[in-house]
Amino acid sequence: MANNEEILREEGNAKQFATKNASIPVDQFDWDAFESEKGLYDDTKENILGKYDQTLSNVAVNEVVDGTVISMNKREVVVNIGYKSDGVVSLNEFRYNPELKVGDIVEVYVESQEDKKGQLNLSHKKARVLRSWDRVNEALDKDEVIKGYIKCRTRGGMIVDVFGIEAFLPGSQIDVKPIRDYDVYVGKTMEFKVVKINHEFKNVVVSHKALIEEELEQQKKDIIAKLEKGQVLEGTVKNITSYGVFIDLGGVDGLIHITDLSWGRVNHPEEVVELDQKLNVVILDFDDAKKRIALGLKQLTAHPWDSLDANLKVGDKVKGKVVVMADYGAFVEIATGVEGLIHVSEMSWSQHLRSAQEFLKVGDEVEAVILTLDREERKMSLGIKQLRQDPWENIEEKYAVNSKHTARVRNFTNFGVFVEIEEGVDGLIHISDLSWTKKVKHPSEFTSIGAEIEVVVLEIDKENRRLSLGHKQLEENPWDVFETVFTVDSIHEGTIVELEDKGARIALPYGVDGFATPKHLVKEDGSQAKLEEKLDFKVIEFNKGAKRIIVSHSRTFEDAKKSEAAAEKKAKTAATQKAVKKVKTSIEKTTLGDIDALAALKSEMEGKANTEE
């Protein structure tokens, strides 16, 4: 180090001497004077070197100092820190500051006073890192605006070089409007604010949006102060959601609700507008406190109802497209923004209408008849069943009483079966009109929903649009025959097919059922008859009107015994009467003297009678 200083000093003296004596030839140069204690000066060399050293800064290694940019090229920046030599720093270390220029004051870290080439070794990057946390905390405390260099993308945002620290810039904090392409920001230097520091994990979060919002906040106040309802402004589509469109009005946002985009039905706002599209909107309402602005687009055009054909009236036929479906009906658009409702009850003459989806779906092209038309309320009701003739207009001709038809079972009740002969023509088969012979407890025992069944029209109720129908009437009433077959006291073979506490149902010949109470199910040996047992039954009651036959098994043998006993008693009575008559006759012919003989004969006859009994 000392040798170098001496060499530099000698070279400096030689230069000064040569400059001063430039006109002296070499062969006349005084080398002895140059090598003397004072040399070419009036003072000693040591004093001169001391004065020179005082003009230089004292630079300590591993310290951060301020320097001045004295020159720049495409690769390097030359920085003067007041030392006897200048330092060279890579331009790459200043990439966060593309506006760097000669004369700027920059921080540098002194790595060494001389490298192998004798060059002062400086680093701007290390200087920034050493002071970075102090600078970052100071920026947060003072709410300062700082510059940062966006290095790369990362999940959810960007990595920013701030004072040599890698800070996180969330995607939501890049701009006030949604960012669709993050890559365009990589490599840019932007201004930021420090919004959060985690000292434990050394994390820094910055925001560029915060700078914009401060400016926009004042712009919003100025813009809102000038707003008026009905005012038309130009805006740019900033964001599209399922419920509406956000419009940038030049510093303040407004919302066009999906219902205010078009007079017609809109399934999604993307059908009407696109991002970054410029359009005129009208102010519908605004809230100074909440800074909310409601905008409209459709209001800039006339309402379609106002241009609806003035000659259109109730009863006219119109065509349109189904735009919305509901359980209760379908909305049909007959012109842009002009809709009519077809209620489910107006879709078919049938009385069994559950949902409109059974008849129509969104997108169907339909023809309908106008049922009601209210231009003031802008409401219209339509019908499609009116395009077909009402089947009840000539019901007496097509479905006359006693006519036979095929119907489809639609529903059951406890008292009967609802059937549909054709669309719009319904009827009821009462449970008592299902069968002449079977005791039907519920219609489901006889038929099933969706099945076809033959019917006879019994009665027409045109006012209530309902037919009374019968099924059993397709056949002759067998009870007229049963009346001659199942006479009281007649005996028939039957099978117990159902057994309950109250009695049993007996299957009799010809498919007819009888009923027997428990006491009439006792067999001759005293036991009770069992299910599916086949026995003889006597008819003890026959009711044609109620279609009821009461039978008894017990009476088949009880009545027989009673008949035998009655016959025997009758025979005995006849014999006694004959004997008494004989006695009477004998008395009339005998004399008083024969009384004793007659008395003896009477005693004999009475004794004989007692013996027989």
Q: Is 232 in contact with 281 (CB distance < 8 Å)? A: yes
Q: In this structure, are 430 and 470 located in the same domain?
A: yes
- Indicate the range of 204-218, 380-394, 583-597 predicted with least confidence: 583-597
Q: In this structure, are 308 and 383 located in the same domain?
A: yes
Residues 563-587 have a mean pLDDT of: 67
Residues 577-594 have a mean pLDDT of: 59
Q: In this structure, are 276 and 293 located in the same domain?
A: yes
In a domain, 497, yes or no: yes
Rounded CA separation 289/304 (Å):
35
Whole-angstrom CA distances from 534 to 237, 505, 508, 520 are 91, 12, 10, 14
> Residue 543's pLDDT is what?
85
More confident residue, 96 or 576: 96
Q: DSSP string spanning 93-153?
A: GGTT-TT--TT-EEEEEEEES--TTS-BEEEHHHHHHHHHHHHHHHHHHHT-EEEEEEEEE
**Number of domains composing the chain:** 7
pLDDT band at 200 (very low <50, low <70, confident <90, very high): confident
The pTM of this model reads: 0.42
- Indicate the range of 128-142, 325-339, 425-439, 557-571 predicted with least confidence: 557-571
Rounded CA separation 515/45 (Å):
151
> Residue 26's pLDDT is what?
59
Question: Which of 269, 300, 331 marks a domain boundary?
Answer: 300
- Indicate the range of 30-34, 158-162, 496-500 predicted with least confidence: 30-34
Residues 325-354 have a mean pLDDT of: 84
Rounded CA separation 434/612 (Å):
61
Judged against a pLDDT cut of 50, whether residue 1 lies above it is answered with no
Rounded CA separation 10/489 (Å):
162
Q: In this structure, are 470 and 483 located in the same domain?
A: no
CATH number at residue 276: 2.40.50.140
More confident residue, 331 or 115: 331
Q: What angle do CA 558, 562, 564 make, to 5 degrees?
A: 120
Judged against a pLDDT cut of 70, whether residue 403 lies above it is answered with yes
pLDDT band at 426 (very low <50, low <70, confident <90, very high): confident
Judged against a pLDDT cut of 80, whether residue 569 lies above it is answered with no
Q: What angle do CA 268, 272, 275 make, to 5 degrees?
A: 90
> Residue 380's pLDDT is what?
92
> What's the token pair of residue 520?
């009439």
In a domain, 562, yes or no: no
Could you read off the pLDDT of 508-520 as tens digits, one per residue? 888 788 899 998 8
Q: In this structure, are 34 and 51 located in the same domain?
A: yes
**Count of helix runs (H) and strand runs (E) in the chain:** 9, 30
Mean pLDDT rounded to a whole number for the chain? 80
Q: In this structure, are 407 and 383 located in the same domain?
A: no
Question: Which of 552, 580, 599 marks a domain boundary?
Answer: 552
> Residue 371's pLDDT is what?
92
DSSP secondary structure letter of residue 418:
E
> Residue 289's pLDDT is what?
64
In a domain, 331, yes or no: yes
Q: Is 240 in contact with 273 (CB distance < 8 Å)? A: yes
Q: In this structure, are 449 and 381 located in the same domain?
A: no
> Residue 341's pLDDT is what?
92
Judged against a pLDDT cut of 80, whether residue 611 lies above it is answered with no
More confident residue, 487 or 26: 487
Could you read off the pLDDT of 445-458 as tens digits, one per residue? 888 888 888 888 88
What ranges in 308-351 are assigned the alpha helix state H?
Answer: none
> Residue 433's pLDDT is what?
82
> Residue 46's pLDDT is what?
65
Rounded CA separation 95/97 (Å):
5
Rounded CA separation 59/497 (Å):
122
In a domain, 284, yes or no: yes
Residues 463-471 have a mean pLDDT of: 85
Residues 306-329 have a mean pLDDT of: 87
Judged against a pLDDT cut of 70, whether residue 13 lies above it is answered with no
pLDDT band at 423 (very low <50, low <70, confident <90, very high): confident
Q: In this structure, are 25 and 2 located in the same domain?
A: yes
In a domain, 608, yes or no: yes
Q: Which domain holds residue 175?
A: 143-212
pLDDT band at 382 (very low <50, low <70, confident <90, very high): very high
Q: In this structure, are 321 and 345 located in the same domain?
A: yes
In a domain, 114, yes or no: no
Q: In this structure, are 464 and 438 located in the same domain?
A: yes
Judged against a pLDDT cut of 70, whether residue 55 lies above it is answered with no
Question: Which of 474, 497, 527 marks a domain boundary?
Answer: 474
Judged against a pLDDT cut of 50, whether residue 29 lies above it is answered with yes
In a domain, 261, yes or no: yes
Could you read off the pLDDT of 264-300 as tens digits, one per residue? 888 899 988 999 899 999 888 887 665 688 999 888 8
Rounded CA separation 10/45 (Å):
10
- Indicate the range of 42-51, 60-69, 241-250, 395-404 predicted with least confidence: 42-51
Q: In this structure, are 484 and 470 located in the same domain?
A: no
Q: Is the dihedral of CA 602, 605, 609, 610 positive or negative?
A: positive
Judged against a pLDDT cut of 50, whether residue 592 lies above it is answered with no
Residues 575-590 have a mean pLDDT of: 62
Rounded CA separation 514/547 (Å):
10
Residues 146-158 have a mean pLDDT of: 88
In a domain, 467, yes or no: yes
Q: In this structure, are 453 and 509 located in the same domain?
A: no
